Homo-oligomer: A and B are copies of this chain.
Amino acid sequence: MPLTGTRKWLNEVIFGTDTPAGKYFDVVLIWAILLSVTLVVLASVESLWVRFGETFYQLEWFFTALFTLEYITRIYCARDRREYVTSFYGVVDLLAILPSYLALIFTGATYLMVIRLLRVLRVFRVLKLVRYLSDANILMRSLWQARRRIFVFYTSVLVLCIIFGSIMFVVEGPRHGFTSIPKSIYWTIVTITTVGFGDITPHTPLGQAIASMTMLIGYSIIAVPTGIVTAELAHEIGREKQLARCHNCGKAGHDADAEYCKQCGYRLEDFEEPLEEGG
C-alpha cells in the first residue's frame, strides 16, 4: 500500500535524498550526529567535565530529544514499520537515545553512556546522500569477493601466532614479561602486525633471533592481504570503468583510456560511476 499525505511527504524527506527538503534534512542530521558524538567524546575529558558539566548535560538532553523525535517520526512514516524497527539502522537509532533514558533509572551507569557513541554509525546512513555510495560499494564488493581468501589468510596468521607465541613463552619465559601463553600470543600479534608497542620485548639472544624471524615473516605476509584486495579492486574498478556510461548519449563500453565518448564525442569526465538503479 503506497503512502499518502503527510506520511508520504515525511518519508520522502527523512528516508529519501531526491527532494531538496530530503537533502536539507540529511545535511542537518549529519551535523547533529557529528556534534552529539563530539559532545560525548569531550564529556569524557575530566577537566572539561568539571568546568562545563552542566552545559554538556543540557546539550546531551537537547540531542536526545532531537533524536527521539526523529526516531518516532521515522517509525511513523516508515513504509514497513516492523522492518524498520528490526533493521540494522533501526536498532542503531534506538541505541542512540536509549542510554540517556536508562541513565535516569540506573544512576551512576556512566559507562552506559559510551553506547551513545554508536551514533557515529549513523554517519553511514547519511552518506548515501552523496555520490560516495558507489565507491563504498566497490570497496565492499571487493572485500566480499575476497572473503574466503581473507579468512584462510587470518586462520594461517592466527596459527602462526599461536606457534610463535608458545615458542617465545618457552624461550623468554616469565622473567622477561612473557608470563603466559596468551600474553606471548598477544606479543606475537603486536610484532607480526608491525605495531611493536615495546611493553614486552625479548631479552635473550635466542629470543631476539626468533623475534627477528617473526618480524621478517610479518613484513612478508603483510603483502598477502594487500595482494588479495588489490587484485579484487583492480578487477572491480576495471569492470566499473568499462560499464561507465557517457553522460550525454548513455553509451557504455568505452576503452579504459578513452577520454571522449566514441559515439557522440562528449567528454567522459573522471569515469563517473554507472547509474545505479535503486540505492
Contacts and interface: CB of A to CB of B under 8 A. Distances in A.
Nearest to A235: B256
Contacts of A234: 227, 230-231, 234
Interface residues of A, number: 93
A156 to B, nearest CB: 8
A139 B145 contact: no
A186 B159 contact: no
Chain A binding surface, main DSSP class: helix
A170 interface: yes
Contact of A237 (B143, B194, B219, B232): B232
Interface string A172-190: 0000000111110110011
A65 interface: no
Given A123-B159, A138-B149, A145-B271, 16 more contacts: A45-B181, A114-B181, A135-B152, A154-B220, A157-B216, A182-B208, A185-B212, A193-B216, A194-B196, A195-B196, A196-B198, A197-B197, A219-B225, A222-B225, A227-B233, A231-B233
